[in-house]
Amino acid sequence: GLKEDPKKYTKMKERLVGVSEETTTGVKRLYQMQANGTLLFPAINVNDSVTKSKFDNLYGCRHSLPDGLMRATDVMIAGKVGVVCGYGDVGKGCAFALKQAGARVIVTEIDPICALQALMEGFQVLTLEDVVSEGDIFVTTTGNKDIIMVDHMRKMKNNAIVCNIGHFDNEIDMQGLETYPGVKRITIKPQTDRWVFPETKSGIIVLAEGRLMNLGCATGHPSFVMSCSFTNQVIAQLELWKERTSGKYEKKVYVLPKHLDEKVAALHLGKLGAKLTKLTKDQSDYISIPVEGPYKPPHYRY
């Protein structure tokens, strides 16, 4: 630690060519350091690669939300009312997972664009207050705090399931729940607690103590989609190493160049038996896109 060697990180920095980072929080810190002029080496933000944000978040959660629900509670999802708070990439994955398992899904959103996307897929968009007594399964996916408060939980159906697959464990008001006067916690099994309110004798099931339920109650995302995320990391590291003396990367935060993002995807196609079409020279000229890519402009949304 720093105690034994106060210059540990300064010395480490000497030999450090650069870093790559894939979490939203970590990336936020790096951009702050860049803004403050305290970033001591180049950094590659792989969190915002398409093959990270649109894969891990979306397809990963579509898989691991039902996985966590089933392992923790064995509840039948079909026929139930699922309430998904937030319809970003994680929320989209969760809403589809519940819908496709046969639930009726209601979405809450602050962003009108995401709300309109939810509607176009047949999801009802309401506020949590509107549906608090109707939902059977509540999932927070927002990345914000104070989404489901203890006052909401008190009004829920007996044995409503409350869980978080967003980011921080304060999406669900665990503190409010734990300190609610007279509330009783019954641990059904590790990571699965029933909390009973004194007035109603009615209880809710909270998964993973409000922390990420796919990690607490299941095994997280499956390896195939994590392979996309980690390939981004590896490619970023290789890129930093290759360019370590070229001066290509300054002490700034970069996103992975799109041709490398595309390479991550390309490396995963073979496993799934896919065959890509090749652009001809003539077609390439016609749309002003190189034969070997990148195939999309930077702002393309996929």
- In this complex, which beta carbon is closest to its own copies, that of residue 201 or of residue 275? 275
228: exposed, middle or buried (Cβ count in 10 Å: 0-12, 13-18, 19+): buried
Give min distance, CB of 125 to its own copies, in A. Answer: 4
- In this complex, which beta carbon is closest to its own copies, that of residue 246 or of residue 277? 277
Give min distance, CB of 47 to its own copies, in A. Answer: 11
301, 48 Cβ separation under 8 angstroms: no
N-terminal to C-terminal alpha carbon distance within the chain? 43
Q: Which residues pair with 84 in a beta bridge?
A: 107, 139
Give min distance, CB of 123 to its own copies, in A. Answer: 7
- In this complex, which beta carbon is closest to its own copies, that of residue 6 or of residue 270? 270
169, 163 Cβ separation under 8 angstroms: no
52, 75 Cβ separation under 8 angstroms: no
- In this complex, which beta carbon is closest to its own copies, that of residue 18 or of residue 91? 91
Give min distance, CB of 12 to its own copies, in A. Answer: 30
Radius of gyration of the chain (CA): 23
- In this complex, which beta carbon is closest to its own copies, that of residue 211 or of residue 221? 221
Nearest Cα residue to 236 out of 48, 96, 103: 48
